[in-house]
Amino acid sequence: MAIKLYRNFPEFSPLDIFDDFEKMMKGYEKDSFGNMSLDLYETDEAAFIEAELPGVQKDDISINVEDGVLTITAEKNIEEEEQKGRKYFTREIKYGSFKRAFEIPEYLNDEEIKAKFNDGILKIEIPRKEEEVKKNKKIDIE
């Protein structure tokens, strides 16, 4: 680990602290396919991802974290028996696989992620890391 120069004055705008989260919130996606509508927001305690997955069963959803990237995958299967004999004029209901992946900012705790699925909405909570208390230590000169 390299020693970094500490400066007492800011070299950036006070709003720069939101950059990491904003990257996640505004499409800083690693990988995606299908159509999964999302709400992404943050509170003082955590960041949240809410995914709209109508018609998807809980057992057909997977959430994984690897190397700081959270990946949501889901599958909505079509019942082949129900489709026999149908001649569609319009077909807008989405079926198939869905996947979205997001890089988790450093200030969030990817070890304590919680998820709930209710009424077609998947809600993922990623809590903030506890702030480290910085100690001031005087160094004696020999």
Domain positions in the chain are 17-80+94-127
Residues in the chain: 142
Query: Residue 91: its pLDDT value, please?
Result: 77
CATH, range 17-80+94-127 = 2.60.40.790
| Cβ atoms within 10 Å, residue 123 | 14
* β strands within 10-136, DSSP E: 29-33, 37-42, 46-52, 61-66, 69-76, 96-103, 114-118, 121-127
| Cβ atoms within 10 Å, residue 92 | 5
Please report, for residues 3, 97, 135, the alpha-carbon distance to residue 138 in angstroms, rounded to integers and kept in the order given.
18, 58, 10
pLDDT band at residue 115, thresholds of 50, 70 and 90?
very high
0.75 exceeded by pTM: no
Bridge partners, residue 48, by sequence: 41, 125
| Cβ atoms within 10 Å, residue 17 | 11
Question: How do residues 3-37 score in pLDDT, each as one tens digit?
Answer: 343 344 445 555 555 555 555 544 444 444 466 88
Question: How do residues 43-97 score in pLDDT, each as one tens digit?
Answer: 999 999 999 998 899 999 999 999 999 999 999 887 766 677 888 888 777 778 8
